[in-house]
């Protein structure tokens, strides 16, 4: 607990300093004149991006795009000329632009291919995207309306089927790589310590991981899975520490601002994996009581019970997906909105910005503490529900 408090204290100091400078700069900015909308930075914060941000630094990431009929477009997002603060690009490349940190494709088929300069700085881009919505080149005017973001799912999570597919290494993907790499070296080091210090008291990271590991084993795996607990323990531990690592990584201020487990595509894949593992390990007793319950009148089974049980097979992973997504996304948005209150009320001349900064920061720090608990709770809830589904699928008949 003392480590958590020290972490929050450091985060508070950094955030407070950043807000002091940002509120001072905000006083004379165009954003104040136009009116501050807290929803804009909140949605920008939880969105995925083709750049990885560390504080004010925008780190470019590889982009991999495929356009049917044109082929592949690859490179680094730095080619778009990344600007602060929202990762917009000064250039368009082959009708692709970087707007809000994400690569988009301009719909106008007459827009020039190759490299096209959109603006000289962030202010010019802001005026372009939020005002003019068009670009004049060589006495011709082009509409800058663009397709929604697209992924390998056919555009389901990007707003519909679009004209291109985005397989890029985005902020969320890079965050998963970082967390997986960290977990690999962490557990590899712990395993070596157990091998070289057998029978001795745990030290260092062992002292933190071992109680969590034993708790999941004794309170989740063994009670729910019975004699099969050892077979499924690696799967449960992988789920728990993967989700926990991503949740905690997203709580680190200014380091990527990743919202990985708040992304529906990520939670959907985790839920599908759970569904597949549960389905292929279901025994005869499980399927018998799911599809055709013995001892129940046939009419009741056909009309009510069997349809409900079959629906339950798909509702269970759906609830896993939505629960994790909603809780993590809500926490990220609330913290950003609390910080946004500083700028929102700062526009009112009767309420000084400093008078709003202190309570807003206190609310934000309170939410950070709550989110640390949520990070552990949601990883635990996902794991224990997975264990309960596996336990139901592998349980032997009792007569």
Domain coordinates of the chain in residue numbers?
A: 54-168, 173-394
Given this model, what pLDDT does residue 28 score?
34
Q: Taking the CA atoms of the chain, what radius of gyration do you get in angstroms?
A: 25
| Torsion angle of C-alpha atoms 339, 343, 345, 348, degrees rounded to 10 | 170
Q: How far is CA 391 from CA 91, 97, 224, 227, 397, in A?
A: 55, 49, 5, 10, 12
Per the listing, tokens 């001892």 go with 295
Q: What is the pLDDT along the chain (399 residues), one digit of tens a residue?
A: 333 333 333 333 333 333 333 333 333 333 344 556 666 666 666 778 888 888 777 788 999 998 888 899 999 988 988 876 667 888 999 999 988 788 889 888 888 898 988 888 877 887 887 777 888 888 888 888 888 765 555 555 555 667 888 888 989 999 999 999 999 999 999 999 988 888 888 888 888 899 999 999 999 999 999 898 999 999 999 999 999 999 999 888 777 678 899 888 899 999 999 999 999 998 888 888 778 777 778 787 778 888 888 898 899 999 999 999 988 888 878 777 777 777 776 665 555 566 677 777 888 788 888 888 999 999 999 999 999 999 988 887 665
Given this model, what pLDDT does residue 58 score?
79
140 Cβ partners below 8 Å, 6+ apart?
A: 110
**Within the chain, how many helices (H) and strands (E) appear?**
13, 13
Given this model, what pLDDT does residue 396 score?
76
Given this model, what pLDDT does residue 156 score?
57
- Residue pair 184/169 in contact (Cβ under 8 Å)? The answer is no
The candidate with the shortest Cα–Cα distance to 379, out of 222, 267, 286, 263, is 267
55 Cβ partners below 8 Å, 6+ apart?
A: 254
| Torsion angle of C-alpha atoms 128, 132, 133, 136, degrees rounded to 10 | -80
* Integer Cα distance of 302 and 281 in angstroms: 25
* Integer Cα distance of 328 and 31 in angstroms: 28
Q: Could you give the angle at the alpha carbon of 250 between the alpha carbons of 19 and 203, nearest 5°?
A: 115
Given this model, what pLDDT does residue 398 score?
62
Phi–psi pair at 64, nearest 5 degrees:
-135, 105
116-164 confidence digits (pLDDT tens): 888 888 778 878 877 778 888 888 888 888 887 655 555 555 556 678 8
* Integer Cα distance of 43 and 336 in angstroms: 9
The candidate with the shortest Cα–Cα distance to 223, out of 374, 390, 382, is 390
371 Cβ partners below 8 Å, 6+ apart?
A: 251, 331, 335
99-128 confidence digits (pLDDT tens): 878 888 988 888 889 898 888 887 788 788
Pairing of strands 57-60, 62-67: unpaired
| Torsion angle of C-alpha atoms 243, 247, 248, 252, degrees rounded to 10 | 150
Q: How far is CA 350 from CA 29, 345, 354, 360, in A?
A: 18, 9, 12, 17
The candidate with the shortest Cα–Cα distance to 238, out of 183, 177, 280, is 183
């Amino acid at each position: 607990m003392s480590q958590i408090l020290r972490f929050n204290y450091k985060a508070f100091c950094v955030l407070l300093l950043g807000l002091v400078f940002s509120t001072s700069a905000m006083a004379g900015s165009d954003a104040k004149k136009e009116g501050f909308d807290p929803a804009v930075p909140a949605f920008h914060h939880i969105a995925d991006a083709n750049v990885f941000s560390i504080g004010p630094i925008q780190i470019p990431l590889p982009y991999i795009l495929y356009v049917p009929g044109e082929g592949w477009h690859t490179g680094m997002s730095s080619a778009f000329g990344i600007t602060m603060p929202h990762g917009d690009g000064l250039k368009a490349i082959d009708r692709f632009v970087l707007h809000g940190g994400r690569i988009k494709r301009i719909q106008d088929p007459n827009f020039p291919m190759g490299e096209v300069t959109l603006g000289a700085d962030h202010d010019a881009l802001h005026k372009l995207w939020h005002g003019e919505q068009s670009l004049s080149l060589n006495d011709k005017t082009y509409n800058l309306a663009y397709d929604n973001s697209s992924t390998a799912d056919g555009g389901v999570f990007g707003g519909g089927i679009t004209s291109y597919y985005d397989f890029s290494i985005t902020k969320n993907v890079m965050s998963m790589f970082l967390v997986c790499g960290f977990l690999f070296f962490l557990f590899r080091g712990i395993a070596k310590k157990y091998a070289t210090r057998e029978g001795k008291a745990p030290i260092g990271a062992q002292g933190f991981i071992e109680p969590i590991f034993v708790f999941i084993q004794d309170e989740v795996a063994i009670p729910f899975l019975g004699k099969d607990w050892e077979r499924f323990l690696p799967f449960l531990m992988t789920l728990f520490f993967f989700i926990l690592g991503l949740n905690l990584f997203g709580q680190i201020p200014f380091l990527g601002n990743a919202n990985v487990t708040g992304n529906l595509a990520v939670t959907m894949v985790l839920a599908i994996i759970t569904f597949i593992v549960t389905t292929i390990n279901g025994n005869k007793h499980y399927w018998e009581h799911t599809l055709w319950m013995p001892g129940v009148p046939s009419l009741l089974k056909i009309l009510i019970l069997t349809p409900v049980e079959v629906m339950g097979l798909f509702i269970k992973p759906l609830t896993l997906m939505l629960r994790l997504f909603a809780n993590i996304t809500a926490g990220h948005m609330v913290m950003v909105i609390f910080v946004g209150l500083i700028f929102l009320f700062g526009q009112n001349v009767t309420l000084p910005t400093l008078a709003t900064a202190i309570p807003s920061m206190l609310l934000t720090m309170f939410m950070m503490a709550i989110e640390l608990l949520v990070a552990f709770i949601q990883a635990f809830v996902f794991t224990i529900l997975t264990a309960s589904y596996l336990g139901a699928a592998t349980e032997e008949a009792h007569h």
